[in-house]
A and B are shown apart, each in its own frame.
Chain A
């Protein structure tokens, strides 16, 4: 019988974290921020069919960066969780906080017990009828949850992008102002992003029960 090499737990966790971070850093970034009607989400995504941002429930949106098949699997699990909960209890019992905790459990579990951690960072966003009560749950590959109210940046070069958002962000911006803040922050100083490079969606509290709306590239100029 062969004895496996001893690897210190610290080293094992560090290796996995490095692996996940490297995978996430390869992808493009995404910004979510509160705006006058709810939450504005803008991702750098040249594909118009493979989405990074999508609808979970009436007032809950989802966004992911990193490996597409992995965050898409999380997205579908989230829709199932929310729809089952709304069917069993009532629509108002479906909340982002509980969903974010469930995601954290799943990601944490995978991080410690599986061979390969998930190379994703996800966002669960929720709005209420009251402006200023937006909730942004930012969940990392190892199950760490952070909650924000103003804005959050996921993926790639998030520190630099965060700084650029912080310099231009203000409360209760219009959708078009939010789009410009996001576009400039994602692009940085030495490049520009066209409408076709962006994926934009909003949780808009003025739109009735299902608040999630996706804005097609061609309609961005009409915001």
Chain B
């Protein structure tokens, strides 16, 4: 690899995706005729605002048609120090999109000498989704949520997307993936604006528990293998992954409470 150099007209500036394209590596080539059953899909991810920022969570299951293809896939990624992106949809393009997105944020920060605003990051992700539209129309849809702590406004913010790159800011909570209907209902019922991080983590655990209970493509806590949904908080202190034993303990409490009320011998 040699040093990339450009004349003034073709210089990609701080845009990494454009740089990649100009070097001949198209990030999202259009695809056709792919059956949804043949490729791996990731599902339910949720995020809520709490008093000091946002919490994001995603289950660990990936499916291909009716089969479970991975039990410990990661769908929640730190985008940079103060934001994260969670993905649902075709796992291959989704993970590649996250990788490109993470690099774009870092690349911009290094070239320009200062980071993008949170709003700028959210728009950037929307543009990447729009460039993936041809692939989405042929079955490789990616639907992320983006959340982060806005250092300028001193608050947590949430963004939902659709496959066309449409960007929708949500005030309180966001969800994506096949289990999102159930997960979002649980959050809607239990949501309070002044939740602490711990209460928000509990609410998200409950939402994924109920989604996994009703949706076969969503995995809850896999206690047999010790695999738990990934959760992370974003506040003024930055992105912080919630430890597995904290998440595991929440799921154990929920499961005990659930079992106490739903054992079939009580019917």
A interface residues with partner B (beta carbon < 8 Å): 51, 54-56, 76-81, 83-88, 98, 102-103, 105-106, 210
Contacts and interface: CB of A to CB of B under 8 A. Distances in A.
Q: Which 3 A-B pairs have the closest CB atoms?
A: A102-B3, A77-B3, A80-B4
Nearest to A87: B103
Interface of B: 1-5, 16, 19-20, 23, 25, 99-100, 103, 106-107, 110-111, 113
A87 B1 contact: no
A84 B20 contact: yes
Nearest to A51: B113
Contact of A86 (B5, B103, B113): B103
B13 to A, nearest CB: 9
A88 B25 contact: yes
Interface residues of chain A: helix, strand, loop or mixed (majority): helix
Nearest to B81: A210
A220 B99 CA distance: 35
Contact of A105 (B3, B4, B99): B3
A28 to B, nearest CB: 20
A79 B3 contact: no
Given A83-B107, A102-B2, 7 more contacts: A54-B110, A77-B5, A80-B3, A81-B1, A83-B16, A87-B100, A105-B2
Contact of A83 (B2, B3, B106): B106
Contacts of A76: 111
Contacts of A79: 107, 110-111
B221 to A, nearest CB: 28
A51 B19 CA distance: 24
Nearest to B13: A76
Contacts of B25: 87-88
A193 B259 CA distance: 70
B113 A54 contact: yes
Contacts of A56: 110
Contacts of A51: 113
A90 to B, nearest CB: 11
Contacts of A88: 1, 25
A11 to B, nearest CB: 29
Contacts of B1: 81, 84-85, 88, 98, 102
A88 to B, nearest CB: 7
A86 B5 CA distance: 18
A77 B110 contact: no
8 contacts: A54-B113, A78-B3, A79-B110, A83-B106, A84-B1, A84-B23, A87-B16, A102-B1
Nearest to B19: A80
Contacts of A210: 106
Contacts of A106: 3, 5
Nearest to A83: B107
B125 to A, nearest CB: 17
B23 to A, nearest CB: 6
Contacts of A103: 3
A87 B21 CA distance: 12
B245 to A, nearest CB: 22
Nearest to A84: B23
A51 B25 CA distance: 31
A93 to B, nearest CB: 10
Counting chain A CB atoms within 10 Å of each CB, the highest count among B1, B2, B113 belongs to B1
Nearest to B4: A80
Contacts of B100: 87
B4 A55 contact: no
A76 B20 CA distance: 15
Contacts of B2: 81, 102, 105
Contacts of A85: 1
Contact of B4 (A81, A86, A87): A81
A19 B4 CA distance: 26
B3 A81 contact: yes
Nearest to A214: B113
A87 B20 CA distance: 9
A205 B164 CA distance: 42
